[in-house]
Structure 1
Amino acid sequence: MSMEREGECPNCGEVTFYRAASTTLHLGEKVKWHCPNCDYGFVRINGIDSSTAEA
């Protein structure tokens, strides 16, 4: 898996996220992504990410 991911940060508009950590769970691979400008982060597990979750 790559160390960078394209996407727009909802806080600052940055277009590149960096992989902060990963681990394997029974649900699949869990990867934490962070914005280098504002430290916004989200988690992606098996292709589903928390950045699209409704609050």
Structure 2
Amino acid sequence: MSLELEHYCPDCGEERVFYRAASTTLHLGTKVKWHCPDCDYGFVQVDGVIDTSEADA
């Protein structure tokens, strides 16, 4: 799995490179926390099925 992810940051208002802050395996799949290094915005993805960044859009 990649350590970087190109993603839109709503706090910065543009595409940023997010860094993987943490990951763990759950019964749902692999949970990955992503963090924008330019601000405090972060989101969680679980096996591409759950994505908390979509809730902020």
Q: TM-score, normalised by structure 2?
A: 0.86
Work out whether residues 22 and 29 of structure 1, in 8 Å CA contact, stay in contact via their aligned partners in 2.
yes
Measure, in 2, the Cα distance between the counterparts of 1:50 and 1:34: 12
Shift of 1:40: 0.3
In the alignment of these two chains, the number of paired residues is 55
Ranges of 4+ aligned residues in structure 1 off by more than 6 Å: none
The residue aligned with 2:5 is: 5
Aligned to 2:54: 52
How far is the alpha carbon of 1:8 from its aligned partner?
A: 1.3
Pick the structure with more strand per residue: 2
Q: Distance in 2 between matches of 1:9 and 1:53?
A: 13
Q: Residue 16 of structure 1 aligns to which amino acid in structure 2? A: V
Deviations 1:3-30 (A, max 9, x none): 0001110001242100000000000000
**Whole-angstrom distance in 2 between the partners of 1:24 and 1:32:** 12
- Structure 2 residue runs of 5 or longer lacking an equivalent are none
Gaps of 5+ in 1: none
